[in-house]
Amino acid sequence: MFKKIISFLLVLALLSVSTSAYALNNQNSENIKDNSIAIKTIETNSSNDYNNFLKDVENFKQFKKSQKLKQGTLSNDDFELKCAIEYYNQKVKNGQLTGPLLNPNDFITVKTNKSISAQTNVTTLYYDKYSVRAQLWVASLMISPILPRTAYFFQHSLNDNPSDVYLGSSNPIVPEIKATNAYKSVIATFKRSGSSYQRNPLIFTPSNASWDLYLALHYTTIYSYSSGKSITSYVTDTYDFQPKNWGGYGSGIPDAAVTLINNYGVYAQSVGAVVPYYISITIPDTK
């Protein structure tokens, strides 16, 4: 909570760059310029991080294609799981990720054989923080082609010290949010109020937004400010993974990914495999 308050105060301070009515009286132009550069740098870093994630998703798709002839008698779901684990192992060996190597056969065994011995084997081998984190990274990779926002925010939490994520007004997620009935309803209320500032809950559900936004963000807070005909809103959230019945969400999510998320989601937080972080998304609008 303290981290979220500090982050929000930073947003308020930086708001003076575009909304002079809220400028701090004792803040000179040099400070404003420095703060503007700082927040743009943070936004650029967050944007670059997400773009690199998307490239990784495409690389994974190509990797699966290259392995198709090796599928043999494996089901499509088991093949997807095997490819995701091998892709993860490849990144660990190349130094792109830090974590333990995983054995695909162990997880395929558990998925197809519910015997106590099979369950015990995986529990013994893969139940420490970094092994659980590795498995959830694999799960995030498997859902990434279908739920990219969900996968990115989830994967970003699988670090000891994940950076806060600031997505600027030019980020592709902005038009996605503005197109939802959730956002339209809240911003319409703000416009009708005639107020220069409002703080409202912004709750994404499967009925008022996409599955991806619902799973990625769900319960957020939106801070809206107006100056003349311009409106600037900040959609904020503290990412804190909430295990759900993922099998009911969207279509085409691999069963193996659902199994990993459901099996380890709650436990992951108790051992620190999933670490919360702050998200702020800038949404421009007009009256």
Structure tokens at 282: 């800038």
* pLDDT value, residue 91: 96
* pLDDT value, residue 23: 39
Q: Phi first, then psi: give them for residue 199, nearest 5 degrees.
A: -120, 125
Q: What is the pTM of this model?
A: 0.80
Strands (E) in the chain, as ranges, are 165-167, 197-203, 219-227, 230-239, 277-286
Torsion of CA 12, 201, 188, 225, to 10 degrees: -10
Residue matched to tokens 């970094």: 130
* 84-88, Cβ contacts within 8 angstroms, sequence gap of 24 or more: 84/60, 84/138, 84/139, 84/141, 84/142, 84/256, 85/138, 87/59, 87/60, 87/63, 87/141, 88/134, 88/137, 88/138, 88/141
In contact, 173 and 46? CB cutoff 8 Å:
no
Domain ranges of the chain: 2-172+247-279
- Collect the ranges in the chain with pLDDT lower than 50: 1-33, 112-123
* pLDDT value, residue 250: 55
* pLDDT value, residue 203: 95
Count the Cβ atoms, other than its own, within 10 Å of residue 133.
25
CA distance 109 to 263: 15
* pLDDT value, residue 67: 96
CA distance 99 to 91: 10
